């Protein structure tokens, strides 16, 4: 049975300041919880209406569907909610392709980009300080467990890019077509904010501006969603590796 203190702690984790204070975050659903249980993230506590998880009894609280609804951040709670401990990011590998985000603000976009990095084998995802928190419940949900396989770091993006010798590719409108370029196996792919794109101070550090050409007859579409753009760009980077 849930205690008042447990409910208070879990519901507080919807806010970033309490996640930071407790160094804890919430994951929901069988798939996401299972992925994180099988990762290097440490379980703080599992709250579930089933007994299908292989978890030590002293870390599990069995609850009713009504209790799950009280603590869930989802409109339709899904079997289990787990609280995990945050962990420090691992060292970045500069020899591989890195994705960097300049103030991406939408949780769904970040979650999708995390999944894309996992899918395309990008280990390191660098986020500016103002990029949405990767432990936001909506980000965790959208990442569908890929959070456990992508190394996320939050840092001063300008300082990070300035210190890196790798080629910095920036996604812009009306720049050189990604389909007409010779792409390397390493480098940093920078993606910008949903509304404003890559900021001016970060743009100054970009070595190679790239774009996804529009093929529509009218060409009136203003821009692509940043997560959609990430999918196309990562696919092209990885496709070139196969052809080499």
List the one residue out of 50, 49, 45 whose CA is nearest residue 25. 45
Residue 14's CB: how many other CB atoms inside 10 A? 13
Place of tokens 């970060």: 202
The pair of three-digit structure tokens given for residue 89, joined into one six-digit string:
């990011």
Question: Does the pLDDT value for residue 244 go beyond 90?
Answer: no
Where residue 52 falls among pLDDT bands split at 50, 70, 90? confident
pLDDT score recorded for residue 221? 62
SS3 state at 223: coil
pLDDT score recorded for residue 196? 94
Pairing of strands 97-101, 124-128: parallel
Domain covering 4-85: architecture: 2-Layer Sandwich (3.30)
pLDDT score recorded for residue 220? 64
Model confidence pLDDT, tens digit, residues 107-159: 999 999 999 999 999 999 999 999 999 999 999 999 999 999 999 999 999 99
Compute the mean pLDDT over every residue in the chain, rounded to the nearest whole number.
Answer: 94
pLDDT score recorded for residue 217? 65
List alpha helices for the chain, DSSP H. 4-12, 16-22, 30-37, 65-71, 107-119, 137-143, 157-163, 200-203, 226-243
* pTM given for the model: 0.94
Fold for the domain defined by 97-243: Alpha/beta knot (3.40.1280)
Residue 137's CB: how many other CB atoms inside 10 A? 20
Strands ordered across the beta sheet of 124-128: 151-155, 124-128, 97-101, 187-191, 168-177, 208-211
Determine the Cα–Cα distance for residues 1 and 47; give it in Å rounded to an integer.
10
Q: What are phi and psi of 125, to 5 degrees?
A: -120, 115
Least confident of 36-50, 59-73, 204-218: 204-218
Domain coordinates in residue numbering, the chain: 4-85, 97-243
């Amino acid at each position: 049975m849930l205690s008042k203190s447990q409910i208070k702690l879990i519901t507080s984790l919807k806010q970033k300041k309490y996640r930071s204070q407790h160094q804890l975050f919430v994951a929901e659903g069988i798939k996401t919880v299972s992925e994180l249980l099988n990762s290097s993230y440490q379980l703080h506590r599992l709250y579930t209406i089933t007994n299908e998880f292989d978890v030590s009894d002293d870390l599990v609280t069995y609850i009713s569907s009504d209790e799950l609804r009280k603590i869930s951040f989802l409109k339709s709670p899904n079997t289990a909610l787990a609280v995990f401990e945050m962990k420090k990011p691992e060292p970045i590998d500069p020899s591989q392709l890195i994705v960097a985000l300049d103030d991406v603000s939408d949780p769904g976009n970040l979650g999708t980009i995390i999944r894309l990095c996992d899918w395309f084998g990008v280990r390191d995802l660098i986020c500016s300080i103002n990029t949405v928190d990767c432990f936001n419940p909506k980000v965790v949900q959208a990442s569908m467990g890929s959070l456990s396989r992508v190394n996320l770091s939050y840092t001063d993006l300008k300082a990070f890019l300035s210190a890196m010798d790798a080629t910095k590719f920036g996604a812009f409108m009306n720049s050189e077509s990604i389909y007409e370029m010779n792409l390397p196996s390493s480098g940093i792919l920078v993606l910008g904010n949903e509304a404003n794109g890559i900021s001016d101070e970060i743009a100054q550090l970009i070595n190679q501006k790239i774009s996804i050409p529009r093929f529509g007859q009218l060409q009136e579409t203003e821009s692509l969603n940043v997560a959609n753009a990430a999918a196309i760009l990562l696919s092209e980077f990885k496709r070139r590796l196969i052809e080499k």
